[in-house]
Amino acid sequence: MMLPIILGLVVLVVLWAIGVYNGLVSLRNRTDEAWSDVDVQLKRRYDLIPNLVETVKGYATHESATLEKVIQARTMAMDGHSKNIDPAAQAANENMLSGALKSIFALSESYPDLKANAGFLQLQSELADTENKIEASRRFYNANVRDLNTKIEMFPSNIVAGMLGIVRRSFFEAVGEERNNVAVKF
């Protein structure tokens, strides 16, 4: 008489564990997909930057320090991207690149011909659009990280997560001085 009750409890526990496991795997995969979306937008930005720098070079030949800063920031961001560094470290690299890009747009204010150049305006528009998409991708990634981390930390799913080795993810966020406004100075 007790055997059916015990078997019923075992079946319920197994079904519960399967449900928790499937939920954790789903959240982990959505988080990976969200990170991939961030990657796609960052790659697009990396591809646009050389064209922007080349366009600016033609007009602002004596502003090489600003252009080199942008190229250096792009290289650092791409290196971090290719080495699959932690999202927090990648965010720091990306924020440095964003600051360098802002200096190029501020530089364009000093060159009316550059500011009126159709190629520059097109690149500026595409880059602004890409920055908006990166921001949206970051928010989507962070929302998925929040959901995954919450599930990992909550009892009793934390037991299943611990047994399966599913670990917390880092948010893609600005840290320290990166939270302040960028000061553009020439």
Q: What is the pLDDT of residue 83?
A: 77
Tell me the torsion sign for CA atoms 85, 92, 80, 134. Answer: positive
Is 103 inside a domain boundary? yes
Is 164 inside a domain boundary? yes
Is 7 inside a domain boundary? no
Closest by Cα among 86, 93, 87 to 46: 93
Structure tokens at 13: 């526990």
Evaluate if residue 177 carries a pLDDT over 60. no
Domain with 55 in it: 20-179
Is 174 inside a domain boundary? yes
The total domain count for the chain is: 1
Is 1 inside a domain boundary? no
Predicted structure pTM score? 0.71
Q: What is the pLDDT of residue 62?
A: 61
Based on DSSP, count helices (H) and strands (E) in the chain, helices before strands: 6, 0
CA distance 144 to 8: 34
Q: What is the CATH number of the domain that holds 37?
A: 1.20.1440.20
Is 64 inside a domain boundary? yes
Evaluate if residue 84 carries a pLDDT over 80. no
Evaluate if residue 143 carries a pLDDT over 90. yes
Q: What is the pLDDT of residue 138?
A: 92
